[in-house]
Amino acid sequence: MKIREALEQRETEIFSPYATLSMNSKGRQKEEELCDIRPCFQRDRDRILYSKSFRRLKDKTQVFLTPDGDHYRTRMTHTLEVAQNARTIARALRLNEDLAEAIALGHDLGHTPFGHAGERALNTVCPYGFRHNEQSLRLVDKLEKDCQGLNLTFEVRDGIINHEMHLMPSTLEGRIVRLSDKIAYIHHDMDDAIRGGILTADEIPDEIAVVVGRTNGEWLDTFIHDIVENSSGKDDITMSAPIYEAMMALRRFMFEHVYTNPVAKGEEGRAEDLVKTLYDYYLKHTELFPEYMQKRLEMGDAKEIVTCDYVSSMTDRFAIARYEELFIPKSWSVY
């Protein structure tokens, strides 16, 4: 028996009856030979991990633009924390850990430079709109590997596109990531806000703290335990009503005191203007796109969409460098 087949057989023996088995995947958009070692979801995880889109996450904003310090989260560290939360929950529930991790690693690949500020900017200027979850799927389907795409399984693609709270993945592993994403950013954004002097733990409303605790470590422990306890033996991923309501109240508190705080977000207007300016410029100069973006134009994609592809793929650092190169006057001298 091949190693992959042995691993797939092991899944049938140890996984919950509600888990997504690798052998039961709905498959890929393009058929390909199976790996002799790795089940399909592990293979997807590896493809995402080795992608250029994943590497770029290390220089993309999570919440705080250009913070003065090395310990603030980036989009990559956020992604890794989501993956760790998802793996912990999936393992405790005997669900498919490889699938949960693959979805988690891919869920934010489509994020723009400067976080949600960049996303708002592109959504404003592009007539087709722009949403990072849809861009994440477009990256793995059409842009990675010089427009060959990563050819991921249906289940991973479904989890990536549906990780937003108003959407619902078709697998329990995808639903784990959907909640793990929110848990991760509530946890680490508060940690960063406290580090940045924007908030203190004492400012958390008592009605929230009495349910989930006052520190972000207590929140993380409470949320994960609650999901495991309330989802065990069920064909769903759920939280108890009091904990879920407290989590959403905490999320609203974060939006009011962190995500719209002028200290933390004061530069977002400039970031949005920068992204809009780059979009307008490259829309008129598509000849400057890299070769693989040119391929998308040749394949019939609208230039507005390909311009979003290019600008959204930029890291914060690269976007600033391109802006300076294009619009900031250079010093000169005469010898």
Counting Cβ atoms within 10 Å, is residue 281 exposed (0-12), middle (13-18) or buried (19+)?
middle
What angle is formed at CA 96 by the lines to CA 92 and CA 97, rounded to 5 degrees?
Answer: 70
Helices 268-284 & 115-125 angle (0-180, nearest 10): 40
Lowest mean pLDDT among 66-80, 238-252, 255-269: 255-269
Tokens at residue 89, please? 């929950």
Any domain includes 149: yes
Residue 335 is assigned to a structural domain of this protein = no
What tokens were used for 205?
A: 């409303």
8-state DSSP, 24: G
Contacts of 173 (CB under 8 A, 6+ apart): 19, 20, 86, 90, 95, 96, 99, 100, 103, 155, 159
**Residue 263, phi then psi, degrees to nearest 5:** -70, -45
Q: What would the two tokens of residue 138 be?
A: 């477009």
Confidence tier at 334 by pLDDT (50, 70, 90): low
Give me the pLDDT at residue 75, please: 93
283: confidence class by pLDDT, cuts 50, 70, 90: very high
Residue 140: inside a domain: yes
Cα–Cα dist 308/131, whole Å:
10
Q: Does residue 106 form part of some domain?
A: yes
Sign (positive or negative) of CA dihedral 14, 175, 115, 198: negative
Domain extent for 105: 3-327
145-168 pLDDT per residue, tens: 999 999 999 999 999 999 999 999
Residue 253 CA from chain centroid, whole number: 22
Q: Is position 78 within any domain?
A: yes
Other CB atoms within a 10 A radius of the CB of residue 125 amount to 21
Q: Is 260 exposed, middle or buried (0-12, 13-18, 19+ CB in 10 A)?
A: exposed
Query: What is d(CA 264, CA 110) in angstroms, rounded to the nearest whole number?
Result: 23
Query: Alpha-carbon distance 179 to 18, whole Å?
Result: 18
Question: Tens digit of pLDDT for each residue in 76-119?
Answer: 999 999 999 999 999 999 999 999 999 999 999 999 999 999 99
Collapsed DSSP state (helix, strand, coil) of residue 74: strand
Predicted pLDDT of residue 131? 98
SS (H, E, C) 267-328: CHHHHHHHHHHHHHHHHHCHHHCCHHHHHHHHCCCCHHHHHHHHHHHCCHHHHHHHHHHHHC
Residue with tokens 């989930």: 212
- Give the number of residues written for the chain: 335
Place of tokens 């200027």: 125
Mean pLDDT of the chain: 93
pLDDT of 27-68, one tens digit each?
Answer: 999 999 999 999 999 999 999 999 999 999 999 988 777 666
Judge whether 201 and 262 are in contact, CB under 8 Å: no
Q: How many domains would you assign to the chain?
A: 1
Q: How confident is the model at residue 193 (pLDDT cuts 50, 70, 90)?
A: confident
* Percent share of the chain, pLDDT over 70: 96
Label residue 329 exposed, middle or buried (CB < 10 Å: 0-12, 13-18, 19+).
exposed
* CATH classification of the domain holding 9: 1.10.3210.10
CA angle 99, 114, 132 (to 5 degrees): 40
**84 lies in some domain:** yes
Mean pLDDT to the nearest integer, 183-193: 88
Tell whether 53 is covered by a domain. yes
CB atoms within 10 A of CB 242: 11
What's the CA gap between 139 and 47, in Å, rounded?
Answer: 12
Residue 279 lies in a domain: yes
